[in-house]
Structure 1
Amino acid sequence: MASRRIYIKTIGTEEVKQLTSDENEQFSPTWSPDGSQIAYLARSNDGLSLSVANVSSQAAPHRLLIPQEPSHWEQGALSWAPSGSSLIYPDHSGTSPNSSIFLLDLHTFSTRSITTPPAGWEGDLNPAYSPNGKWIAFTRASETAVRDIYFMSTATGELHQLTHDHLNIDSLAWAADSSFLIFSSNRGGKYGLWKIGLKDKLPERLPVGTEDAYQPAVGPKAGELAYTQGSAIWSILRLQPSSGKETPVQSDSVLTSTQQDSAPALSPDGRFFAFQSRRSGNQEIWIASQSGDQLRQLTFMAGPLTGSPSWSNQGNKILFDSRPEGHSHIFCVPAAGGHPKQLTFGDANDITPRWSHDDQSIYFRSNRGDRWQLWRVPAAGGDPQPVTTGDGIVPQESPDGKWLYYTRGDEDGIWRVPPTGGAETQILTQPSAGYWGYWQITSRGIFYLDRGDSSSAIRLFNPDTKITSLYAMLKQTPPVYAGLTVAQDGKIVLLTDQHDAGRHITLIQALGE
């Protein structure tokens, strides 16, 4: 499996040079003020590290720090102070579940937290020093897909909130004169580039980078702007069983789009499936027949990220999560269409809802206990109650209601616990961390993604006999998170697929001229 590497391209030529010969995964590069070094993050079997490499030599990079690794290490996670004296990055403080911005002093190599996000929030991400060194901008996330821009004075620590939209902000960069910020956001539906001044009330959309534009980078001269653009083909596939053969199976594409169709959920009778899609501009819940016909939009939340559909066992209702007020909550909508009903409330984040086998309860992942756990609420309404003490996501009751099975956000495997609580036991070491949506409990057993070293497969595990069998070998590993769905009799398996994915860098040297 290919890993990310850092390369340097000389403007005006086709020359591309790899920064180091290090084979570890590398990402989030940031230049030193004098351009002689690049700091970056690397991930190896030893975990995450923050390293610095010289641009003009092949000397081995110098590892500066091993952070605790917050939940979101991404492009734009590092920024070098204009004075050259420090680096800032997101990290955890002790056992705190949310991330804050940390400062690494490059003279003493001491670290300290410089921001304090509210309890229960995802935390602070995407830090960036202003070129004049007076400000630090960052995003504050109440939940992964809900971020607003803040900036603080490096001299006094005074904090200002710049946006108040409760939408997602992918990345940001300062203008060369430190007077405004450019950022990538989905506030216009698809991700595009926007700008906002430090005293502006509303952002302004840029005339460039209007679709699928991310990771803006501003050059030292006015008008210099680079950003990435990308696309991919997303499909919902229907898998055919391998009949025990260790060769990739044929699969039929049920739906194909460039707008990220994913997370399919079959109806109990297998005639239809719900899924999340960006085909309307915003991510909403859609429904299609098993063959991909009779396509219709089910939700119209009009902005906030909406996903994780789950069909009731009676087939008349669909659960989903959405973020209309800055925190994710659970909603229920008639499968035939209608107005969604909000089921959970408060300042916590509630995601990935699933019905109990009798539709009397709803399970979901929540951080309302100041850490991620599985919770349960009566479908008719009432107070949520914790089910697990540890993390859990994508909870699914067994068909007989005796067990609650689940994955975890940052760990490999599948666990189970009695629905009323009790011992939490790991029963499988797959699917891998990040692929927590690729499994389903059925009357035949648990279908799950086995992400092997050289190939991936869908396998079937019987929790009673502990026997595992092959269902289908896959041609490629599917994208993270998105997931699969299986009919209760195991005769229909739908899988999220992504192919022809790629990104390129666009450079503009006279923006606004």
Structure 2
Amino acid sequence: MLAQERPFDLSALNVRPASLQLVGPGGSWQVEHKVMQLLVVLAKAGGGAVGRDEIIDICWQGRVISEDALNRCVSRLRKALQPDPRLVVEAVPKVGYRLRVLETAPVRPAAEAGLPQGALRWLAAGVLLAICVAGGLAWMLRPPQAVTAVKSLQILTGEPLPTLRPALSPDGGTVVYSAGAETIDLYMRSTRDGAPVRLTDTPEMDEYSPAWSPKGDRLAYVVSHSSMDRPDAELRCRVMVMSVPGGRPREVGRCVTDAGTGLSWLDEKTLLYADREAPRTPRRIRAMDVDTGQTRDLSQPSEGLADQDPFVSPDGRRVLFRRIKSVGVDEMMIQEVDSGREWPLLSDGNAIHGMTWTRDGRQVVFSSNRGGDKGLWVIDVKSRAEPRRLSVGLMAFGRMSADDNDHIAVEIHNQRARIEAARAAGSEPVDPAEGMDADPDVARDGATAFVSSRSGTPELWMAPSGGRAVRLTRREGGSLYQPRWSPDGARIVFIAVERGASDLYEIGRDGSGLRRLTNNGTPKHSPAWGGDWTIRYVTTTPEGSRVMRVEANGSVRPEPGAGEWQVLRTAPDGRLYGWGRGDRRLWVMTPGGGKREAIPGFRMQDPYWVVGRNGVYFLSNAGRRAGLRFKPWVGEEQELRRLSNVSWTSDVSVDPRDDSFVYANNGEEVRDIAVVSLAR
């Protein structure tokens, strides 16, 4: 257990296993859990070789892993140790690995050494400081005005439950976050020391998205019912405010449909949040008076899917928010509060996972996949220069918030997911390798197409029945999602994002014949092959969603009579099923583009479902203790089994050979809160 390992020195580094930190002369940086385990194992060997089997026994508890998994872990350890060139991880042929500390460091130019960008900044900062002290140039110690690097990173939470959505108090002394398994509650803890204190404990309710008031004496948050099956809409999304510490929460308003909204204080009496004005309208940024409950719109999205995640600038004059253009495509928007004028700060076709202002409002720190991983970046608000990377790319960063002193509380993720099939004898992996896998689809012969980030960025992979997965695409950047097999299992259609444009692509099962099927760049999801070999998909705009069909000549036109479908699935017999926006009844497409209700009176709540030969398989309460349920075409609904750790960010499928349910299972997952100190 790393939590029980004491810190130790290694060459010029101080290794802190419990917090997953490496501290060097110029700063500190974070490593993944498995990487730290490997480092501790090699360091304890005192320069001796450690066998591969022994490493796997200790770091993976003896589980069967692929050769690539161990090689990736070694590669990441080497990258993490690059700031100290005296530390070398050597491969010992036919044995394993050893860690050597060289007496003298090899001389390498920084560019050849391939040092992580953040580590280069830390080393440069250390050298500069030494020069300033030696020369007595005190004026050089004055920090520049712009944020230039991450100075340190401290992990606050190391709890077994995932911790997320942090809110850092204005003075930086306290952080509030959400955590839980069956229900999600709010916890508060000091950023210096001490145990977390539970703030909320409401049965069957989830509390999340905390936000501190400007004075730091009140906390706003969102509460909703933990079960998606509840029909009473008034419990689905409520906004609460409590005094801190020890105040009694009171309801200040309600959300229409979006229980996952984020909050930000515009001033001491006004909250900003993302929600719909009414069902079936685009999500936008709204303002709520916490005394009267009255609301008004701030943003008016004319394009894209939704506006989300508002953050008010330190001076209260501007609002930063995320405009979701399509799946995996975001714009970072700024709006002036007084004039309502808005403009894009960043629009480069990448996803944005979290963002916040710096203390002076001159820059924005954000997490994005623009570099191939979910790293930290910074962008100047006025100059519009290209963003600069802050993190070394060894951890994935998510939502964040800032204080008044150049500190940021941020989610850090280290997650693995693999595709599994729920067979009669139990769940079994489709592919033995570990990765970040999602969106499975199974062909008639049992071959599984899926999306995986095991190579660093999302790519399309294919695992033949009983064989090892192979990589089919080499795009090396951008989002890729929802692969679907052709009726004969010879080709795969999928959606990929290229320079902010979402389009359909097609590829052979051997990776040959890649071609682009559409060229309009509009938001797309739910691609589906029909029994007539026509490819259809759903496009979503602020006005609504509709089914589009791709003609043989590459042109695209609306499906006649399909109506406003929101989700589309193909059944084993080639028929198309789906449901519409705001209507969870299941429909089947009829000849000529019409539709009829597939199972009269049947409704699903969660969007994790697939059509089998004899009925519909679907999940309830996905992501926690998911119940796998089955509704036959005729007969009573039944629960088949419980599935743990089902990924809520992935599609599901069914094996046409035996109707086995196929899904992404979140394996080892670390989801903690860290505090980052920024250097200027």
Q: Structure 1 residues 109, 467: closer, same or farther in 2, change over 3 A?
A: closer
Larger helix proportion of the pair: 2
Deviation at 1:408, TM superposition (A): 5.3
Cα offsets for 1:125-180 (capped at 9, x unmatched):
11101112122111112114211212122232332321121110011111111110
What is the alpha-carbon distance in structure 2 between the residues aligned to residue 129 and residue 455 of structure 1?
A: 36
Residue of structure 2 equivalent to 1:449: 618
1:297 equivalent in alignment to 2:480: no
Deviation at 1:369, TM superposition (A): 8.9
What is the alpha-carbon distance in structure 1 between the residues aligned to residue 296 and residue 396 of structure 2?
A: 35
What is the alpha-carbon distance in structure 1 between the residues aligned to residue 448 and residue 464 of structure 2?
A: 6
Q: Structure 1 residues 92, 148: closer, same or farther in 2, change over 3 A?
A: same
Residue of structure 2 equivalent to 1:11: 191
Q: Structure 1 residues 409, 211: closer, same or farther in 2, change over 3 A?
A: farther
Q: Structure 1 residues 469, 347: closer, same or farther in 2, change over 3 A?
A: same
Residue of structure 1 equivalent to 2:421: 238
CA RMSD of aligned residues (A): 2.8
Residue of structure 2 equivalent to 1:244: none
1:153 equivalent in alignment to 2:336: yes
Deviation at 1:118, TM superposition (A): 2.1
Matched residue of 2:274: which SS? strand
What is the alpha-carbon distance in structure 2 between the residues aligned to residue 456 and residue 132 of structure 1?
A: 44
Amino acid at match of 2:210: P
Deviation at 1:201, TM superposition (A): 1.9
More displaced, 365-374 or 210-219? 365-374
Residue of structure 2 equivalent to 1:511: 678
> Quick check: 1:451–1:477 contact (8 Å CA) kept in 2?
no
What is the alpha-carbon distance in structure 2 between the residues aligned to residue 409 and residue 283 of structure 1?
A: 28
More displaced, 378-387 or 324-333? 378-387
Find 2:260's aligned residue among 61, 73, 78: 73
Residue of structure 2 equivalent to 1:215: 399
Cα offsets for 1:466-511 (capped at 9, x unmatched):
46677x5234262225233333332655332113333111123x42
Residue of structure 2 equivalent to 1:261: 437
Q: Structure 1 residues 69, 450: closer, same or farther in 2, change over 3 A?
A: closer
1:178 equivalent in alignment to 2:178: no
What is the alpha-carbon distance in structure 1 between the residues aligned to residue 190 and residue 637 of structure 2?
A: 52
Residue of structure 2 equivalent to 1:332: 506
What is the alpha-carbon distance in structure 2 between the residues aligned to residue 492 and residue 3 of structure 1?
A: 29
Q: Structure 1 residues 261, 267: closer, same or farther in 2, change over 3 A?
A: same
For the pair shown, which has the larger CA radius of gyration, 1 or 2?
2
Q: Structure 1 residues 157, 458: closer, same or farther in 2, change over 3 A?
A: closer
Q: Structure 1 residues 410, 300: closer, same or farther in 2, change over 3 A?
A: farther
Matched residue of 1:162: which SS? strand
What is the alpha-carbon distance in structure 1 between the residues aligned to residue 505 and residue 483 of structure 2?
A: 10
Amino acid at match of 1:306: L
Matched residue of 2:592: which SS? coil
What is the alpha-carbon distance in structure 2 between the residues aligned to residue 407 and residue 96 of structure 1?
A: 14
Amino acid at match of 2:246: S
Matched ranges for 1:365-384 at <5 A: 365-367=538-540, 370-384=543-557
Residue of structure 2 equivalent to 1:346: 520
1:53 equivalent in alignment to 2:53: no
What is the alpha-carbon distance in structure 2 between the residues aligned to residue 211 and residue 163 of structure 1?
A: 23
Deviation at 1:97, TM superposition (A): 3.2
Residue of structure 2 equivalent to 1:206: 390
> Quick check: 2:301–2:542 contact (8 Å CA) kept in 1?
no
Cα offsets for 1:207-243 (capped at 9, x unmatched):
3675211122222113x222121223312123321xx
Greater RCO structure (CA 8 Å; 6+ sep): 2
Matched residue of 1:9: which SS? strand
Deviation at 1:106, TM superposition (A): 3.6
What is the alpha-carbon distance in structure 1 between the residues aligned to residue 280 and residue 580 of structure 2?
A: 18
1:311 equivalent in alignment to 2:485: yes
Structure 1, gaps ≥5 residues long: 242-248
What is the alpha-carbon distance in structure 1 between the residues aligned to residue 392 and residue 403 of structure 2?
A: 16
Q: Structure 1 residues 419, 459: closer, same or farther in 2, change over 3 A?
A: farther
Residue of structure 2 equivalent to 1:133: 316
Amino acid at match of 1:449: F
Amino acid at match of 2:390: L
Matched residue of 1:328: which SS? strand
More displaced, 139-148 or 32-41? 139-148
Residue of structure 2 equivalent to 1:62: 250
Q: Structure 1 residues 368, 154: closer, same or farther in 2, change over 3 A?
A: closer
Q: Structure 1 residues 130, 258: closer, same or farther in 2, change over 3 A?
A: farther
What is the alpha-carbon distance in structure 1 between the residues aligned to residue 394 and residue 274 of structure 2?
A: 28
Q: Structure 1 residues 33, 3: closer, same or farther in 2, change over 3 A?
A: same
Residue of structure 1 equivalent to 2:45: none
Matched residue of 2:550: which SS? strand
Residue of structure 1 equivalent to 2:590: 418
> Quick check: 1:166–1:324 contact (8 Å CA) kept in 2?
yes
Structure 2, gaps ≥5 residues long: 1-180
1:389 equivalent in alignment to 2:563: yes
What is the alpha-carbon distance in structure 1 between the residues aligned to residue 569 and residue 443 of structure 2?
A: 17
Percent identity over paired residues: 23
What is the alpha-carbon distance in structure 2 between the residues aligned to residue 277 and residue 430 of structure 1?
A: 31
More displaced, 333-342 or 43-52? 333-342
Cα offsets for 1:421-450 (capped at 9, x unmatched):
334415274654132xx32333xx235135
Matched residue of 1:53: which SS? strand
